Amino acid sequence: MTPLCDAVESGLAQGQVQVGFYDGDLGVAPSVCPTTSVGFTGGGSAIIDTANLYGRIIGTGTLRGSVALSDRTALYVTIEGLRYDSVIAPISSSAVGPGYTDVGGSWQAHTGDKMIVAIQGKLVLPTAFNDDVNSWPLALDAGANVAWRPAERWTVHGSLLGMYSMALGGGPVFPTGGVSLDLGGEWNATKGFGLVLDGRSGFGYTSAVDVVSAGFGVRGAVGKHAGLAFEAVKPLAGRERALAGADLRFDWRI
């Protein structure tokens, strides 16, 4: 069987569905396989609550990059270059400007042909200046991410991440923490086409049950470098009120 991180010899995306509902995609783990790549993502989410005369639309344009420092270690950065956040209510508001920035890293604590266990974490920086005017949230997550390949074209993945945030500024700190749990799988039909299905839950960050959701993605590749993916997540239970979140992602693997 082809070793796990060598199984895709193209720009085909790997790992979990990358759509999240926390700011800066807190609680979303990247692939366990280190890569050097650059990319762009356009995405968003929407809340429509007509009974309570409330709606919210968020749209983002995001630059992504990662650097493989070795076969086991990677650093990555995500920059929301543009964030549109509009609240539709009796008193409406909207903001357009830069969004959140996160920096993180991954290290393979266990490496095998069929299974990899990575220790991962990231820091979400308060760069959404138009959204956060008087208080600036600083957040981080850290935990374990596992990928297991039971068969040549199939991969099972999962992660458990702890999350913590606090507010910077002249007001209260408002510290909060929680956990994000993900379990899913990928099927690479060919070297240039794959599907991914995920179940992701969040607990304790904003409520006892933040969200229980299902995610789905379609991934394609052109040659050894270019990859395109459409991914979406639908909340099924919990406090999260969004109808869905989705993004379209392009990556160029170097």
Q: Predicted confidence band at 170 (pLDDT cuts at 50, 70, 90)?
A: low
Residue 59's pLDDT is: 93
Residue 9: is its pLDDT beyond 90?
no
pLDDT for the residue 5: 80
Task: Find the mean pLDDT for residues 156-183.
Answer: 88
Predicted confidence band of residue 171 (pLDDT cuts 50, 70, 90): low
**Radius of gyration for the chain, computed over Cα atoms and rounded to the nearest angstrom:** 18
181 pLDDT above the threshold of 80 = yes
Mean pLDDT computed over every residue of the chain:
90
- The domains located in the chain, with CATH, are 4-253 (2.40.128.130)
Give residue 129's pLDDT: 75
Across 124-133, 137-146, 158-167, 216-225, least confident range = 124-133
* pLDDT for the residue 23: 86
Q: Is the pLDDT of residue 7 over 80?
A: no
Q: What pLDDT was estimated at residue 205? A: 93
| Rounded distance between C-alpha atoms, residue 187 and residue 174, angstroms | 41
55 pLDDT tier (thresholds 50, 70, 90): confident
Contact 82, 58 (CB under 8 A): no
Cα–Cα distance measured from residue 126 to residue 194, given in angstroms and rounded to the nearest whole number = 34
Q: Can you tell me whether residue 26 is helix, strand or coil?
A: coil
- At 3, the pLDDT band (50, 70, 90 cuts) reads low
Identify the band that residue 1 occupies on the pLDDT scale cut at 50, 70 and 90. Answer: low
Q: What is the Cα–Cα distance from 16 to 200, expressed in whole angstroms?
A: 10
Per-residue tokens: 225: 């470098």
Q: Using pLDDT thresholds of 50, 70 and 90, give the confidence band for residue 49.
A: confident
Query: What is the spatial distance between Cα 74 and Cα 108, in angstroms, rounded to a whole number?
Result: 9
pLDDT digits (tens, 9 = 90+) for 113-153: 889 999 999 999 988 877 666 777 889 999 999 999 998 88
The answer to whether the CB of 158 falls within 8 A of the CB of 146 is yes
pTM check: above 0.85: yes
**Of 26-35, 76-85, 122-131, minimum mean pLDDT range:** 122-131
The H or E element spanning position 250 is strand 244-253
Q: Which of 21-35, 77-91, 231-245 is predicted with the least confidence, judged by mean pLDDT? A: 77-91
Contacts of 55 (CB under 8 A, 6+ apart): 46, 47, 48, 49, 87, 88, 89
Q: Residue 133, by phi and psi: left (phi above 0), alpha (psi -120 to 50) or beta? A: alpha
- Does the structure show a pLDDT above 90 at 232? yes
pLDDT score, position 2: 64
